[in-house]
Amino acid sequence: MFSTAILVFREVLEAALIIGLVAVASRELASRFKWISIGIGSGILGAILIAMMADVINNAAAGMGQELLNAMILLAAVIMLGWHNIWMKKHGRELAVHARQLGQAVSDGQQPMYALTILVGLAVLREGAEVVLFLYSMVVSGTPAGQIASGGAAGLAVGVAFGAGLYFGLLRIPMRYLFRFTSILLLMLSAGLAAQAAGFLVQANVINVMTSTLWDTSWLVSERSVPGNILHALVGYIANPMGIQLLFYLATISIIGSLMWLVDRPGQVRMVKPAPSLPS
Amino acid sequence: MKQLVAIIICTAALVVGLPSSAWAMPEFTLRIKEHKFTPTVLHIPANTKVRLIIKNLDATPEEFESEELHREKVIQGHGQGVVFIGPLAPGTYSFIGEFHEATARGQIVVK
């Protein structure tokens, strides 16, 4: 039961922290929890689908289907985060001013929740597929259902508690710093996901350069420890990164960061189109 | 849906192109049985990329994982998978089967 709880916790933690961060980043949107729930629900459905199709996926692309699918999920999440961050940089300030003038929360259609909903879905999908396969493995090997259920529930509960902790912890930060702080965290999160994608592309034999390990800090913070897991999820901590992972990390920060800077300068050519309105 | 995913993945693979060098590299086999790896210690040459074939003889899926090698791959029950490893500097690199961590443990010795 204990090993079930630990594995489920480890997978849930990463998705829960991302969801906690998304809930803070979209705090001005009244219907955010509806959108987050849609993301979680579709992520769970997707995870079950992926687990059921594991055979097809594994045999695709000369046996490298699993790696390529993981890389694509991660890169799609990076694009969603980048889109959200750039959009918020361009419109966030006017939105906050507008909301204050009208004395109301920002309504649907004024903040592109699609990007964050898809991000939540992808995070749940990636971590969830592994949980589903693991639980299936437990069932097949004859572990009593009660043990699987209680272990899984305990792991899920503790993981969700960490996500809630991050949410309420961040909300204590004064409003005027919070926007900047969450956008920096989201930027580092996206860079970390890009670095993970680079790892899968190396594993798939698609990238063959800069694969040497740069350093190893696993003696200080192991990625398998709880602090290591949290740092990995939030800022993309990798104890022993390959050169290509550092390159992907820095490139993501530079590209999204410079686009955010470009759209923020008043009187400059706007680089990003406003997001389509959401149906209310 | 199955076909759609397969098509997307295949297209992606064609676009990026798997290097042909993948087919001319040394091959090693690792077996999983009763949630244990055989051999427990696998010797591979240094500074060479190798093809590791992991055969899962159990009915349960297993995840081959090594933080040191930057590899994680789910191997289906009664299935097999390929993991490319290296080129690596001489040394010892450990791996686990994450779904049965207590018993599924092994090392790759590079020299």
Give tens-digit pLDDT for B9-44.
656 665 555 544 555 789 999 999 999 999 999 999
Chain A residues touching residue B58 (CB < 8 angstroms): 141
Token look-up 């693991």 returns A134
Is residue B33 classed as helix, strand or coil in its secondary structure?
strand
The beta-carbon neighbor of B70 closest among A53, A138, A242 is A242
DSSP label at residue B87: -
Is B99 close to A133, i.e. CB distance below 8 A? yes
Q: Calculate how close chain B gets to A55, using CA atoms only, in Å.
A: 7
Is A60 close to B61, i.e. CB distance below 8 A? no
> What pairing do the DSSP bridges indicate for beta strands B41-44 and B105-110?
parallel
How many other CB atoms sit within 10 Å of the CB of residue B92? 11
Q: Calculate how close chain B gets to A155, using CA atoms only, in Å.
A: 15
Chain B residues touching residue A141 (CB < 8 angstroms): 35, 58-60
Residue of A14, A58, A219 to mutate, testing the B interface (most B Cβ within 10 Å of its Cβ)? A58
* Closest chain A residue by Cα to residue B53: A63
In chain B, the percentage of residues whose pLDDT exceeds 90 is 77
Is A69 close to B5, i.e. CB distance below 8 A? yes
Chain A residues touching residue B2 (CB < 8 angstroms): 53, 56
The beta-carbon neighbor of B70 closest among A66, A72, A202 is A202
Cβ pairs bridging A and B (under 8 Å): 113
List per-residue pLDDT tens for chain A, 280 residues long: 688 999 999 999 999 999 999 999 888 788 889 999 999 999 999 999 999 999 899 989 999 999 999 999 999 999 999 999 998 888 776 766 666 565 555 554 556 788 999 999 999 999 999 999 999 999 988 889 999 999 999 999 999 999 999 999 999 999 888 888 999 999 999 999 999 999 999 999 999 999 999 999 999 999 889 999 999 999 999 999 999 999 999 999 999 999 999 988 765 444 445 555 555 4
- In the structure encoding, which two tokens stand for residue A32, read together? 């955010």
CB A275 within 8 A of CB A87: yes
Chain B residues touching residue A60 (CB < 8 angstroms): 5-6, 9-10, 13
pLDDT of residue A252: 98
Chain A residues touching residue B35 (CB < 8 angstroms): 141
* Closest chain B residue by Cα to residue A199: B70
Is A61 close to B13, i.e. CB distance below 8 A? yes
pLDDT of residue B10: 57
Is B18 close to A68, i.e. CB distance below 8 A? no
Q: Which long-range CB contacts under 8 A does A251-256 form with residues at least 24 apart?
A: A251/A194, A252/A78, A252/A82, A252/A187, A252/A190, A252/A191, A252/A194, A252/A195, A253/A187, A253/A188, A253/A191, A255/A82, A256/A81, A256/A82, A256/A85, A256/A86, A256/A187, A256/A190
The beta-carbon neighbor of A137 closest among B1, B61, B87 is B61
Is B61 close to A133, i.e. CB distance below 8 A? yes
Residue range B73-96: average pLDDT?
94
* Closest chain A residue by Cα to residue B68: A240
How many other CB atoms sit within 10 Å of the CB of residue B46? 12
